[in-house]
Amino acid sequence: MKAMAQDARPLDGLLVVDFSQFLSGPLASLKLADLGARVIKVERPGSGDLCRHLYLSDTDIDGDNSLFHAINRNKESLTADLRDEDDKRMLWALLRRADVMIQNFRPGVIERQGFGYDAVSEINPGIIYGSISGFGEEGPWKDLPGQDLLAQARSGLLWLTGSRDDPPMPMGLAVADMMAGNALVQGLLAGLVGKGLHGRGAHVQTSLFEAMIDFQFEVLTTHLNDGRRVPTRSAINGAHSYLGAPYGVYQTADGYLAIAMTPSLERLATLMEVEGLSHWYGDAAALMTHRDEIKAIMSRAVIQRSTRAWLDVLQPADIWCSEVLDWPQMLASEAFQALDFHQVIRRNGTVELNALRGPLRIDGQTLKSPRAAPELGADRDKIINELLSDLMPAESNQTN
């Protein structure tokens, strides 16, 4: 697929100043950068974003870890000490020109540094200002560490994953950070549209906790209206606490098979030649009340054949099912290749990193960009010369 040219992207010309660190805020600015925005990442001199040194594995790429490269590609780095008056004047000058600012400090921290929403909007009333906290700006948890696993743990999510006898199980991804970052993007884009309609800026706020609650809104709504019964995970092949049999993942003779909703238990049992299920035919309630019994019978049948054999039976009959792939299998699949998801990004013209593009396509074009995450402070002089030379005294224009 063809990559969309920078000047054709919908946010080309938008200036984003990103004070955030780690994952949630930088993920939001990454999405804006892919859509064409110019993102300037503000980092502390010497150490930069702590995420530069938060290793997921022992993979080091040109002095930074793979996580930092993944979420900070396509950005510029500006070093600034928020305690230094010259650097603060530089940032104020930059924020006067910014369209969007992002921060994810604990509540009160950015305000003490002098860059809270009230202060920034006073000098730039039209700014769309995005804030991500751990648990909101009010309440007894507001000062607690805003970390992904902790937000998952307090949200109730850990009791939805796995099977009944499993302990609380977190998701194997930083889902709170990612959901909060994507939620913030939605709010920032809404703020920009609103500004175009009525001319006003906005303060867009979310938190890891709110993102986790919203992530569960479908099943939480059920809980709030069914007498507040606690969801019960299936004892066998758990996949969704609120869905009945046969929904789940089953071991086959050589792998695993995921089975989702089916037209009827009778049709599925007939196709799969499974005996022992007939007394539940036509009883929709039984799929939940006898969920584990049905799934146990299904499990004994599914393990008798290979995954491919089951797919050959079920897919032509339009039964919703799938093989369970690991990463190498997924990446090698024709479906992945057809989406042209892989991209190579480069730093200094020599260092190459395999990466993934964002999930959007616009007018049939992808939002790929070969530009890697910046080295710490690499763009400071360029930013000052291009954006701030007419607003700052010459003595402040020195590389930090």
Question: Is there a contact between 199 and 127 (Cβ–Cβ < 8 Å)?
Answer: no
177 is catalytic: yes
Q: Which two tokens stand for residue 37?
A: 């925005």
Q: Is residue 385 exposed (0-12), middle (13-18) or buried (19+ Cβ within 10 Å)?
A: exposed
The distance from CA 380 to its chain's CA centroid, rounded to whole angstroms, is 28
Q: Which of 283, 344, 319 is nearest to 61 (CA)?
A: 344
Residue 356, classed as helix, strand or coil, is strand
Q: Report CA torsion sign: 362, 365, 366, 367.
A: negative
| Catalytic entry in 86, 166, 177, 363 | 177
Spatial CA neighbour of 291 closest among 144, 299, 128: 299
For 340, which DSSP code? Answer: T
> Which residue bears the tokens 């919203």?
214
273: left (phi over 0), alpha (psi -120 to 50) or beta: left
Report the 10 Å Cβ neighbour count for 359. 11
The residues annotated as belonging to the active site are 177
